[in-house]
Amino acid sequence: MSDLHAQLQQSKAFPIVKDLVCDRKSFDRIQQAGGFITVRTGSAPDANSIPVPKENADLAMDAAQCIGCGACVAACKNASAMLFVAAKVSHLGLMPQGQPERYKRVKSMVEQMDTEGFGACTVTGSCEAVCPKEISLDFIARMNRDYAVALIKGEPKQMAGGGAG
């Protein structure tokens, strides 16, 4: 059995299909739970019509680098998907277009992650160390803050299409 196969077997959210092939649809379901915005896009706006602070734009671009490869889950002794989910939550939550659903989004995506059976994060940093896109652990801290606010606000879950459930 390969090392990669052995590592992936620790995550029940990534069931093994055959040697070196696992089912990563759990990542898709997390994305479907909240990884979208509901603003009307209409025709293409002028590039500068929605001002975005440079720091936020840079961070959002960093988070958007995540390719959903799952290496973070495979490397984590807890089979946690926190780095992946944090990247997906953050790249929308940092932009003005992502504000209307910001707290519903984080609640929905974290709860879907838990439903999928990914493990808890104990901040070992192995995910960040292996991430091919150098997604930072800081995004997990950012997501945890937003999740705490969502709980305090009593946000409902986000439904596909923009409603609340």
H/E segment holding residue 17 = strand 16-18
Our CB check for ligand SF4 shows the closer of 35 and 70 to be: 70
Do 122 and 104 meet the contact criterion of CB atoms below 8 Å apart?
no
Give yes or no for residue 69 binding ligand SF4 (CB under 6 A): yes
Residues 6+ apart with CB under 8 A from 86: 63, 135, 139, 140, 142, 143
DSSP label of 96: G
Give yes or no for residue 83 binding ligand SF4 (CB under 6 A): yes
Q: How far is the CB of 73 from ligand SF4 (least distance, A)?
A: 7
Q: Whole-angstrom Cα distance, residue 129 to residue 132?
A: 9
Give yes or no for residue 79 binding ligand SF4 (CB under 6 A): no
Do 145 and 110 meet the contact criterion of CB atoms below 8 Å apart?
no
Residues 6+ apart with CB under 8 A from 100: 37, 38, 39
User: Near ligand SF4 by CB under 6 A, which window of 2-10, 66-74, 111-119, 144-152?
Assistant: 66-74
Could you say which of 110, 135, 140, 143 contacts ligand SF4 (CB under 6 A)?
Answer: 135
Give yes or no for residue 140 binding ligand SF4 (CB under 6 A): no
User: Near ligand SF4 by CB under 6 A, which window of 3-11, 51-59, 64-72, 117-125?
Assistant: 64-72
Only one residue has tokens 């739970």, namely 33
Give yes or no for residue 87 binding ligand SF4 (CB under 6 A): yes
Our CB check for ligand SF4 shows the closer of 85 and 155 to be: 85
Which residues form the interface with ligand SF4 (CB under 6 A)?
Answer: 66-72, 83-84, 87, 131-133, 135
